[in-house]
């Protein structure tokens, strides 16, 4: 039997590695957007999409231009951005801090995981009237809503990420005689970073969603207030202009996190 | 359900026959209609016409559908889910009219000197701080549900008359406004009397003025329908308005003019209580319903001066397109105008 095998012609083995690794392809995302928008523009102009259903994208663009020219865009955007930045900075930093503590210490984990699980499913919007009483109708209640909304997903993502750090790496560090603090700093935190950052994508998207909710009560300026007003006036052009701003905000945040990932995770092979 | 051929033919024949009967006798056939309403005393015209069978007598098979706010009703008319509804002429309603979806065809709730009407309120904190008249609200927070709501209009008109500026605070819903007013987060508000008097009695809120002093003949709510109904379903729309007006007359006689004595009034309160304050006992609900009874315009007549004033205000606040014509929104061909 061994003879037959040696008689076989040598077959070159093709390289089967590679793949399963996302690679950037430029302009495809852009093309999808353009085709979709062109389709809507054509549909509304031709009339097979009623003007009650969707606005003309060109009208939305004109509304956007008007917002930019009158300076109203910055009025709304700057105030919303400050709410988003302050609120999510509080929520995310508290969330990452607590998440790491939960991941590292069993006692904290035993005490706080049920509490986080209890807070997570509460619709934060339902608590808005309560926040108004607690923190006042001005910026306080808005920060609190966004902070609480971004806090819970960050905690869950962070302690999950800390738990998923490769135990063999930790054991290796221990056998090399690293101190506890060194292990946390050099193995646990870098190892948890991918999970924390992908959790951040979700938390910040939730922060943007809650921006609209936060501006429901007592806000006259801000992208969320603008959208709500447009909705109640059934002004579709303004509604979509506002929604577009939020989408762009989401894309920007996602891009920024991508940059942070590139920078912080360049140790990954 | 699976049909064999014979059953299918029978069914088709039956449908055709039913359609033929319906076409042959339109006055007798019941036209199915959906009428939108809020659980407010100001919608009593609809409730009365429904309960006393005036809609049925007019050949309309009415189904009531309830909403939480005025704005969704206008959208529901535009989407075709509701045929007729009664609510304030909001910015959203005008925008939908401009898109060819809805039209105002009649008037409903109105302010009338001598009849308890809408009130200006202030929170207790503001009252203790010296805001005891509407003029003292200068620079204070005035609660509105949304820009372009009737609260915004009333506040704006009062501010213009008193030559003060108000800090309008959008709070989306009446519930939010009431809790913010009770806790002193906002200072002022204007609202229909049954809510105003109930809040004023609690001590957390004080009544400081009447809306009628600033807007004597304010037509607060209007009857509206889809453009398709207004233009193409004349007979049905006339029948609806006729039946609705009978309900309005009964309501005014019993509640506003007290022409039917206490018995007539209590009978009407009982009828309204089927729809309004259903979560309260009759004895607790009755005073609120009686307090909340403002006149509904007889014959659903349109007060063009008031509506035109509201319309111009929307334009001056840049809440609606500058080139919308009043005639696009209001169809004056159905009812009398004042």
Residues of A in contact with B93 (CB under 8 A): 234
ipTM: 0.73
Nearest by CB to A220, from B170, B185, B319: name it. B170
Q: What is the pLDDT of residues B235-256, one digit of tens each?
A: 899 999 999 999 999 999 998 8
**A135–chain B Cβ distance below 8 A for any pair:** no
Compare A99 and B71 and report the one with higher pLDDT.
A99
Count of CA atoms in the C-beta half-sphere (13 A) of A120:
14
Instruction: Give the pLDDT mean for B35-50.
Output: 90
Q: Report the range of poorest mean pLDDT among B15-19, B27-31, B80-84, B218-222.
A: B15-19
For an interface test with A, the pick among B69, B97, B176, B224 (most A C-beta atoms closer than 10 Å) comes out as B176
Please say whether the beta carbons of B198 and B182 come within 8 A.
Answer: no
Query: What pLDDT was estimated at residue B25?
Result: 42
Contact residues for B108 (Cβ-Cβ < 8 A; gap 6+): B42, B45, B86, B219, B220, B221, B222, B223, B248, B296, B297, B300
Query: Is pLDDT of A170 > 50?
Result: yes
As a whole number of angstroms, the distance between CA B58 and CA B243 comes to 6
**A233–chain B Cβ distance below 8 A for any pair:** yes
For an interface test with A, the pick among B167, B171, B320 (most A C-beta atoms closer than 10 Å) comes out as B171
Give the burial string for B228-240 (b: 16+ CB within 10 Å, else e).
Answer: ebbeebeebbebb
User: B170 and A132: CB-CB below 8 Å?
Assistant: no
Please say whether the beta carbons of B277 and B289 come within 8 A.
Answer: yes
Give the burial string for A39-65 (b: 16+ CB within 10 Å, else e).
Answer: ebbeebeeeebebeeebbbebbbebbe
**A126–chain B Cβ distance below 8 A for any pair:** no
**Which residue of chain A comes nearest to B168, CA vs CA?**
A220
**A140–chain B Cβ distance below 8 A for any pair:** no
Residues of B in contact with A136 (CB under 8 A): 185
What residue ranges define each of the domains in chain A, with the CATH number in brackets?
74-264 (1.10.3720.10)
Of B59, B176, B200, the closest CA to residue B122 belongs to B200
Instruction: Give the pLDDT mean for A110-128.
Output: 89
Indicate the fold that domain B28-110+219-329 takes in CATH: D-Maltodextrin-Binding Protein; domain 2 (3.40.190)
Long-range contacts of B255-263 (CB under 8 A, 24+ apart): B255/B44, B255/B290, B255/B293, B256/B115, B256/B293, B256/B294, B256/B295
Q: What is the pLDDT of residues A3-39, one digit of tens each?
A: 555 666 788 888 888 778 778 888 888 899 899 999 9
Using 50, 70 and 90 to split pLDDT, how confident is the model at A204?
very high
Distance from CA of B23 to the nearest CA of A (A): 31
Which CATH number applies to B119-213?
A: 3.40.190.10
Nearest by CB to B176, from A52, A129, A229: name it. A129
DSSP assigned state of B166: -
Q: What is the pLDDT of residues A210-238, one digit of tens each?
A: 998 888 888 888 999 999 888 888 888 89
Parallel, antiparallel, or unpaired: how do β-strands B31-38 and B60-67 relate? Answer: parallel
Q: Any alpha helices (H) in chain B, and if so which ranges?
A: 5-24, 44-51, 54-57, 70-79, 91-98, 124-128, 150-162, 174-182, 193-202, 227-232, 234-251, 261-273, 282-291, 304-316, 326-329
Domain with CATH 3.40.190.10 in chain B: 28-110+219-329, 119-213
């Amino acid at each position: 039997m061994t003879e037959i095998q040696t008689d076989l012609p040598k077959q070159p083995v093709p390289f089967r590695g590679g793949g399963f690794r996302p690679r950037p392809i430029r302009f495809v995302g852009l093309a999808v957007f353009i085709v979709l928008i062109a389709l809507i523009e054509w549909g509304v102009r031709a009339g097979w999409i009623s003007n009650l259903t969707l606005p003309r994208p060109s009208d939305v663009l004109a509304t956007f231009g008007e917002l930019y020219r009158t300076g109203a865009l910055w009025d709304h955007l700057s105030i919303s951005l400050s709410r988003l930045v302050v609120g999510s900075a509080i929520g995310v930093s508290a969330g990452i801090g607590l998440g790491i503590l939960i991941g590292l210490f069993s006692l904290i984990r035993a005490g706080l995981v049920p509490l986080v699980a209890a807070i997570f499913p509460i619709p934060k919007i339902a608590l808005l009237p309560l926040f108004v009483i607690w923190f006042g109708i001005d910026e306080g209640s808005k920060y609190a809503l966004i902070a609480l909304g971004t806090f819970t997903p960050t905690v869950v993502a962070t302690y999950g990420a800390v738990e998923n750090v490769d135990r063999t790496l930790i054991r290796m560090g221990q056998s090399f005689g690293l101190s506890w603090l060194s292990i946390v700093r050099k193995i646990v935190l870098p190892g948890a970073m991918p999970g924390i950052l992908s959790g951040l994508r979700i938390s910040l998207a939730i922060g943007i969603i809650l921006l609209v909710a936060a501006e429901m009560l007592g806000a006259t300026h801000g992208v969320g207030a603008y959208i709500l007003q447009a909705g109640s006036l059934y002004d579709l052009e303004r509604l979509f202009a506002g929604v577009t701003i939020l989408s762009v905000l989401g894309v920007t945040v996602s891009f920024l996190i991508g940059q942070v990932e590139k920078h912080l995770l360049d140790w990954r092979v | 359900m699976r049909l064999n051929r014979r059953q299918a033919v029978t069914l088709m024949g039956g449908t055709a026959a039913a359609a033929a009967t319906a076409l042959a006798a339109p006055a007798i056939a019941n036209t199915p209609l959906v009428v939108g309403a809020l659980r407010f005393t100001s919608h009593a015209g609809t409730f009365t016409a429904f309960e006393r069978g005036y809609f049925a007598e007019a050949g309309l098979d009415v189904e009531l559908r309830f909403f939480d706010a005025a704005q969704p009703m206008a959208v529901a008319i535009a989407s075709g889910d509701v045929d007729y509804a009664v609510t304030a002429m909001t910015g959203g309603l005008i925008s939908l009219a401009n898109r060819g979806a809805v039209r105002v065809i009649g008037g409903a709730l109105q302010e009338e000197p001598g009849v308890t009407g809408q009130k200006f309120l202030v929170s207790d904190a503001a009252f203790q701080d010296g805001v005891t008249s509407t003029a003292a609200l200068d620079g204070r927070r005035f609660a509105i549900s949304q820009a372009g709501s009737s609260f915004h209009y009333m506040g704006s008109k009062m501010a213009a008359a008193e030559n003060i500026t108000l800090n309008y605070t959008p709070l989306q819903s009446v519930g939010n406004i009431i809790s913010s007013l009770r806790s002193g987060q906002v200072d002022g508000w204007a609202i229909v009397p049954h809510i105003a008097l109930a809040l004023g009695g609690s001590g957390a809120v004080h009544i400081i003025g009447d809306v009628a002093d600033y807007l004597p003949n304010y037509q607060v709510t209007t009857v509206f329908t889809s453009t398709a109904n207004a233009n193409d379903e004349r007979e049905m729309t006339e029948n609806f308005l006729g039946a609705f007006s009978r309900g309005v007359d009964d309501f005014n006689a019993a509640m506003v003019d007290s022409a039917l004595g206490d018995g007539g009034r209590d009978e009407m309160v009982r009828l309204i209580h089927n729809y309004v304050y259903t979560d309260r006992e009759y004895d607790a609900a009755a005073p609120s319903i009686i307090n909340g009874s403002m006149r509904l315009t007889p014959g659903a007549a349109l007060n063009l001066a008031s509506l035109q004033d509201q319309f111009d205000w929307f334009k001056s606040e840049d809440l609606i397109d500058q080139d919308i014509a009043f005639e696009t929104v209001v169809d004056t061909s159905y009812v009398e105008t004042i």
